[in-house]
Structure 1
Amino acid sequence: MNHVLCGLAANEALPYELVGRLIAVADADIADALAARADLSHEQALDLAARVEESAARLAYEGRLTAADIDPLAQPEAALALLDAGCGAPEWPRLFAQDPDPERRAKLAACPGLPADVRESLACDPDVQVVAELALWTTADMAARLARHPHAEVRRAVAGNEATPPQVLAMLITGEGLPPAERCLVCDREETPYAHDPHCPRLDCDLRSGASCAGSHESTLHEMADQALRNPATPIAALLRFADHSSALLRWELAARPDLPPQTAAQLADDPVPGVRADLAQNPAIDDATIRVLAADRGHDVQRRLAHNPRVPLDVLSDLAATTKIGPSLPPRIASASPSEIEDLSRSSNPTVRMLLAERRDLPAEIRDLLADDPDAKVVKSIARHPGLSEAQLRSMVERHGAQVSAKVAANPETPSALLEDLTRHVPPVRKGLREIARHPNATGPALLVCLTDGRARRVAAGHPALPPEAIVELLADCDWQVMEAAAANPSLPLVVMAELIPEPHGA
């Protein structure tokens, strides 16, 4: 891969004529970057598709090519991309429904708006994976029909389709009203009973991890239940049977359902698996009684997840903040706090509560300023990115708390250039601060030159338009490919250098 040319292909300042020269020498990697250019003309898109065949699909998805530009026989992937985007020619679905390549038929099956006769053809496809792909994306009436398909893999896909009628999803779970599945991918290929070796050495084996069949297609039916549990269209009444299922994975999925009834939530609050209780703790469907039970749960991640439940009472959240490592994030309950609650939280004796409040970016000026003067560094770190803080306030934070807060001050989008330069002079250097300065729109050339001394900041600073041009040119030969690519994509790279970087096409 030529990282310099890949970066150059993404350079927004690359002139039209140099884009054309780059297309003439593009390989697949360069073409991928060129296809994403906002200024790529239709003519250039055609040239790029002709130069690098595999770029046609990306160009189609980007809207650079139309059906009139594509020959579906010569460029099938691009044609399928247009069908997937709803922009293909009306005759293409029938063409691809008869394609000898099952992977193309499967891609067609996932496309929206297929004609009824094409859906019928795909529903009878000899390759079960094609039928399963149709089942996953098709309309409600076809999904209802495919729920009766004899292959368990197709039923598994129907269970994941959100267009499947709720009563059909319930039938898949209970089995009532449906004949038993006759086959699965496991018994299609292996003598049963069979359990797939998780360390299977066969290079041609594509059975999923955990696949097994003893005659009842156990692993596929388990996966079908998992799909139904994830499907918001599945009636909750059909899913309550999984509250005491032997599979922790299925109980886990049930615990996250937003339509979970209180009595089932209370049952899952006693689940032996902490992960089940943790997902339950963050579920906004749980009531106050279950919240308070989980607030005392010391299981892994339960209390932290509870703190992010939008319905957790503020008194419970305050108690959790005193005993749980929530981290500098904004819990939904604090994000929705009323003005009076904001006032109370800002006066909390617990600095962690004040830190969480400080993560809001819409605080009244008086609350913002109060938290900016907070004696606790973690509170100041959280408020430092708040809009509206003056340069004097930001400097005061750094003077009081030094390296503890300087990276967050550097991350404030309103931090002025002079302060950013001062932050780069800290001894020893604050590495996280340099990384924030490297991406800051107000960063100056001198500040960015200091950022180049840190490996991670260097990769960002190399693409900053305020970096001096001579430094950008030097970075084109850097030993780190990410630095090279960022420098080549820098819009301040001199035009004469851009032109010199593009080689002449072979045979020119």
Structure 2
Amino acid sequence: MNHILCGLAANPALPAALVDRLITVADDEIATELAARKDLGRAQALALAARDEGTAVRLAYEGRLTSADIDPVAQPQAALALLDTGAGLPEWARRFATDPVTERREKLAACPDLPPDVTDTLAADSEIAVVAELALWTTPDMAARLARHPHAEVRRAVAANEATPPAVLEMLLTGDGLPPARHCLVCDRERTPAPHARPHPHPADDLPPGAFCTGSHESTVHDMWRQALRNPATPARAAAGFAGHSSSLLRWSLVGRSDLPPEVWGRLADDPLPGIRGDLAENPAVDAAHLRALATDVSPDVRRSLAHNPRVPLDLLASLAGTAKIGATLLPRIAAATPAEVESLAKSPDPAVRMLLAARRDLPPGTRDALAADTDAKVLKSIAPHPGLSEARLRDMIDRHGVRVLARVATNPDASPSLLEHVTRHDPPVPKAFREVARHRNAPAPALLACLTDRQARPIAAAHPSLPVPVVVELLGDAEGRVAEAAAANPSLPLAMMLKLTR
């Protein structure tokens, strides 16, 4: 890998003529960087696409290529990428529907808005993987048709398709109205009805772990149920009956639904698995009574999940703050707090509650400044990145709590150059603070030079436009490849050096 040329390819100040020069010598890594340039011209995109099909695929997905730019015979993957974005031609779809390469037909089957004759061809494909991929993404009518397919793997894919009609999804759960499946992936590899071991005895093949069949395609049917239970189009009445199923995976598939009756929430809230109860606790559709029950759960993970529920009652959240180890993260319920609730939270006697409020970045100036004067370090760590804080308040935080708040102060978007330099001179030093300073837009040269002494901050600082030009040039020869690459990507790199590096 040529770190210098990769860095140059990403340099936003690189002139168009030098972009052209890099295109002519680009390997995969350089082409990837060039393809990501926002200033890449159409002619340059075409030149890149002609050099490497992987890059052509990326450019197709980014909308930089059209059907007129791609030859589906020479670059089939790029043509399929355009079909996947809806920009391909119908005749391409017809060509790929009978392509001898299975992977191409499978990719085509996932593309939207295919002509009806193409979907008919794919639905009759001899490879089950192609038909299953079609079933996963196809229209309601075709999904209903494929639900009757004799292969259980196709039905599993139909169950995951959110376009599948609700009545069909219910049939997949109950089996009513559908003929039994005759095959599964296990049956395709071994004779039936001879029983197959559980788990499947051939872990080296492409079957999923635990695949087994005794003639009823058990593991595939189980996964089909799981997909249907997670599908929001499945009727609630059909899904609710699985709340007491012996399979924990099936019960787990219910907890994210928004349409189950309260008695089902209650049953899941008493589930023996903390993971199920925890995921249920995050579901905003669960009623307040069951949320309050979950607040007393013996598992701290469940209580922590409950704190992330956007509809958790605020008084309940306040009671969780000190025991659930939530951390300084902006919780949905805190983000949605009304002005009156914000004022109440700011006056809470519990510093854990004040810390949660301090994670907001849109607090009224008075509330923001009051929290910035808090005596508790965890509150200060939470409020330190808030825009609008004065330099005096930020310096006061450092003076009072030192290393505990230093890195967070360095993330404040309004931190001045002098403050950032002050952070890098702190004794004892804080490595994370160097990294934050190195990526800060206001970082001055002295602070960036200090950041170069930290191994992890060094490549970040090398790319900063405020780093002195002689230092940037010197770092091009750094023994650490990622540092040299970052220096080459620095927009302050002189044009003369760019020209020299591309010769």
Give TM-score scaled by structure 2 length.
0.96
The corresponding residue for 1:352 is 352
The corresponding residue for 1:479 is 479
| Kept after mapping to 2: 8 A contact 1:196/1:209 | no
Letter in 2 for 1:465: P
Matched, 1:422 2:422: yes
The corresponding residue for 1:194 is 196
The two structures, once aligned, show a CA RMSD in angstroms of: 1.6
Greater shift, 435-444 or 463-472, is seen at 463-472
Kindly state the Cα deviation for residue 199 of structure 1 after the two structures are TM-superposed.
Answer: 9.4
Equivalent-residue separation in structure 2 for 1:212 and 1:316 (angstroms) = 45
1:349-404 CA distance string (max 9 Å, x none):
11000000111111111111111111001101111111111111111211121111
The corresponding residue for 1:63 is 63
Letter in 2 for 1:45: A
Gaps (5+ residues) in structure 2?
none
Equivalent-residue separation in structure 2 for 1:186 and 1:105 (angstroms) = 23
Alignment of 1:56-455 (within 5 A): 56-191=56-191, 192-195=194-197, 202=204, 205-455=205-455
SS in 2 for 1:456: coil
| Kept after mapping to 2: 8 A contact 1:261/1:285 | no
| Kept after mapping to 2: 8 A contact 1:20/1:44 | yes
Equivalent-residue separation in structure 1 for 2:198 and 2:452 (angstroms) = 51
Equivalent-residue separation in structure 2 for 1:193 and 1:455 (angstroms) = 58
Kindly state the Cα deviation for residue 206 of structure 1 after the two structures are TM-superposed.
Answer: 1.4
Equivalent-residue separation in structure 1 for 2:296 and 2:8 (angstroms) = 56
| Kept after mapping to 1: 8 A contact 2:5/2:488 | yes
| Kept after mapping to 1: 8 A contact 2:266/2:290 | yes
1:120-150 CA distance string (max 9 Å, x none):
1111111111111111111111111111111
| Kept after mapping to 2: 8 A contact 1:36/1:62 | no
Distance 1:481 1:210, change over 3 A: farther
Distance 1:249 1:93, change over 3 A: same
Equivalent-residue separation in structure 2 for 1:336 and 1:283 (angstroms) = 16
Matched, 1:466 2:466: yes
Greater shift, 147-156 or 243-252, is seen at 243-252
Kindly state the Cα deviation for residue 200 of structure 1 after the two structures are TM-superposed.
Answer: 5.3
| Kept after mapping to 2: 8 A contact 1:243/1:254 | yes
Equivalent-residue separation in structure 2 for 1:438 and 1:199 (angstroms) = 53
Letter in 2 for 1:458: R
Alignment of 1:12-91 (within 5 A): 12-91=12-91
Equivalent-residue separation in structure 2 for 1:54 and 1:389 (angstroms) = 47
Greater shift, 456-465 or 171-180, is seen at 456-465
SS in 2 for 1:43: helix
SS in 2 for 1:301: helix
Give TM-score scaled by structure 1 length.
0.95
SS in 2 for 1:59: helix
The corresponding residue for 2:493 is 493
Gaps (5+ residues) in structure 1?
504-508
Kindly state the Cα deviation for residue 271 of structure 1 after the two structures are TM-superposed.
Answer: 0.7
| Kept after mapping to 1: 8 A contact 2:475/2:487 | yes
Letter in 1 for 2:283: N
Kindly state the Cα deviation for residue 329 of structure 1 after the two structures are TM-superposed.
Answer: 0.9
Greater shift, 42-51 or 414-423, is seen at 42-51
Distance 1:218 1:47, change over 3 A: same
Letter in 2 for 1:406: L
| Kept after mapping to 2: 8 A contact 1:139/1:164 | yes
| Kept after mapping to 2: 8 A contact 1:274/1:300 | no
Kindly state the Cα deviation for residue 3 of structure 1 after the two structures are TM-superposed.
Answer: 2.3
| Kept after mapping to 2: 8 A contact 1:26/1:52 | no
Greater shift, 373-382 or 396-405, is seen at 396-405
Equivalent-residue separation in structure 2 for 1:138 and 1:272 (angstroms) = 38
SS in 2 for 1:448: helix
| Kept after mapping to 2: 8 A contact 1:275/1:300 | no
Letter in 2 for 1:451: C
| Kept after mapping to 1: 8 A contact 2:8/2:498 | yes
| Kept after mapping to 2: 8 A contact 1:278/1:300 | no
Kindly state the Cα deviation for residue 480 of structure 1 after the two structures are TM-superposed.
Answer: 3.0
Equivalent-residue separation in structure 2 for 1:471 and 1:216 (angstroms) = 70
Q: How many residues are matched? A: 501
| Kept after mapping to 2: 8 A contact 1:196/1:207 | no
Distance 1:37 1:189, change over 3 A: same
Equivalent-residue separation in structure 1 for 2:140 and 2:325 (angstroms) = 46
Equivalent-residue separation in structure 2 for 1:139 and 1:379 (angstroms) = 52
Structure 1 vs Structure 2: percent identity of aligned residues?
66
| Kept after mapping to 1: 8 A contact 2:300/2:324 | no
Greater shift, 488-497 or 343-352, is seen at 488-497
Equivalent-residue separation in structure 2 for 1:379 and 1:42 (angstroms) = 51
SS in 2 for 1:317: helix
